[in-house]
Structure 1
Amino acid sequence: MIDAEFWDYEDAEELAEAVAGDAAFLIEQALEARGRAFVALPGHDAPLAVLQELSAKSLEWADVTILPTDDRLVPPTDAASNVGLLARMFLPKKARVVPLSAGEKDPRAAGLAADERIADLDWPLDLALLSVDAAGNVASIFPGPDFDAALNGPKVRRALGVMPDPLPKAAPFPRVTLSKPALVTARVVTLVLSSDAARKTVQKALKDGASSPTPIGRLLADLEMDIDIHYCP
């Protein structure tokens, strides 16, 4: 079982400063070691302050490639687009922001295109920064018809289209998501939780291990590294 360390914060600002500081340090390490960095960041499911704080860091952003952990099949100009949010924050810093979708409406076609589009990026990820909801969903890996493919598909499949069932009320769109193999092979995986329910779900998932029915439980069971879990209600 991995060693999971929980970090609790008084408020969202304190959490954002800590998480962004850790992420910036990891990016700097990658830049020093290889001259480039490759990270996956959540979009609208993340505490916005974390992304804002990270984008304000003084880094060699031109050598950083950013990939959304997942995205909704909407145009990048749509308010629900994760890559649109990341692009507005990090393109002005000269970072490279790579989309997971390119106008496809069918999730199967979008997933195949995304997998091909990102195949030649500099894998593995240096950092996968993940947000987890109260149900234990992570990225856009949801229970439903695509659950097994997202968790247990070939290791070379780094992205796939998903149709959550039922569709989330807050964002009722088909999705493209990074697969579990793409996320668990990151050099560092970090979780951000923003509710008591999410914390309890993750704690139970850690205890359940591979038998967990939740996406985050199945992901954590496959990690081969210790993990930091940042929490603020």
Structure 2
Amino acid sequence: MKTATDGDCARDLAANIREVRHGGREPLAQALAAAVADDLRAGIAQRGVASLAVSGGSTPRLFFDHLAQEDLDWSRVVVTLVDERWVPETDARSNAAMARKALLSNGSGRARFVPLYDDAPDPESALDVVDARLDDVPLPFDAVVLGMGLDGHTASFFPHGDRLAAALDPRGEARVISMRAEAAGEPRITLTLPTLLATQALYLHIEGDTKAQVLAQALAADATAEEFPIRAVVRYAGEPVRLYWCP
């Protein structure tokens, strides 16, 4: 765990991002899909199985389309989500439903999917059940692909969320945690920071100049993780975060 001053942290953060820029959404999605597919192939070659954690929302759909077309042994891949809204897959806002439709189709449908939602009244009631499911996900991940909102949130690490400090604790022992925040809408369940950082490759996929500006604000010396949770991801990542973005 780093114990540097705020000024030192600012320098560390700038050095902890490896930027890959493309001119548009299509080449960006293709490049990201190719990189993640290589990570999965490496995982399969090394231990016979590979694991991947992906984000929901609208940004990754094109990336999912391209990744699903990659030629690899999907039967040896385990896929889960970095976070989930507490809604069933019949709900249009379900990240699991979107992932199944956009990513787990045709050949890629042979991958094993581990959802984070459980048929319980709230995420707090299902934490033990969901945590137990993660026993079936090979860790460390071979790749984790995060997104970022215009408020600087990633996964379900929302600014001023009710469990944000616990979720971002780099020494925390919980693998999953519930999250409630005004901007989140529904209650959420999310992998914690240490769980997400347990990966061979950590990607941040953003699109548009506005999000690039938000990321720059998050990395500024006077910013805090409470205001911009993505800051904690970049700060505590053991290897540079692979930033894939296009204007």
TM-score (norm 1): 0.90
Distance of 2:25 and 2:133 partners within structure 1: 35
Which of 52, 55, 70 aligns to 1:39? It is 52
- Aligned pair partner of 1:107 in 117, 120, 123: 123
Cα separation, 2, equivalents of 1:207 and 1:195 = 19
Provide, for residues 51-103 of structure 1, a one-character-per-residue CA deviation record: whole Å limited to 9, x for no partner: 11001111100000001111111111222111122223315420001011112
How far apart in 2 are the matches of 1:161 and 1:141? 10
Deviation for aligned residue 1:7 = 2.1
For residue 113 of structure 1, what is the amino acid of its counterpart?
V
How do 1:72-221 residues align onto structure 2 when only pairs under 5 Å count?
Answer: 72-88=85-101, 89-90=103-104, 92=106, 93=108, 94-143=110-159, 144-152=161-169, 155-164=172-181, 166-168=182-184, 172-208=185-221, 211-212=224-225, 213-221=227-235
Q: Unpaired segments of 5 or more residues in structure 2? A: 1-11
Paired residues, number:
229
Within 2, Cα distance between the matches of 1:5 and 1:40? Answer: 20
Partner of 2:4: none
- Deviation track 1:88-143 (CA, whole Å, cap 9, x = no partner) reads 33154200010111122312113333223213421111111011112110011112
Could you tell me the TM-score, scaled by structure 2's length? 0.85
RMSD, matched Cα: 2.0
Provide the identity percentage: 28
Is contact 2:17–2:234 with CA below 8 Å preserved after alignment? no
Q: Which runs of 5+ in 1 are unaligned?
A: none
Q: Which moved more, 1:128-137 or 1:3-12?
A: 3-12
Matched, 1:67 2:83: no
Task: Tell me, in whole angstroms, the C-alpha distance in 2 between the residues paired with 1:18 and 1:105.
Answer: 40
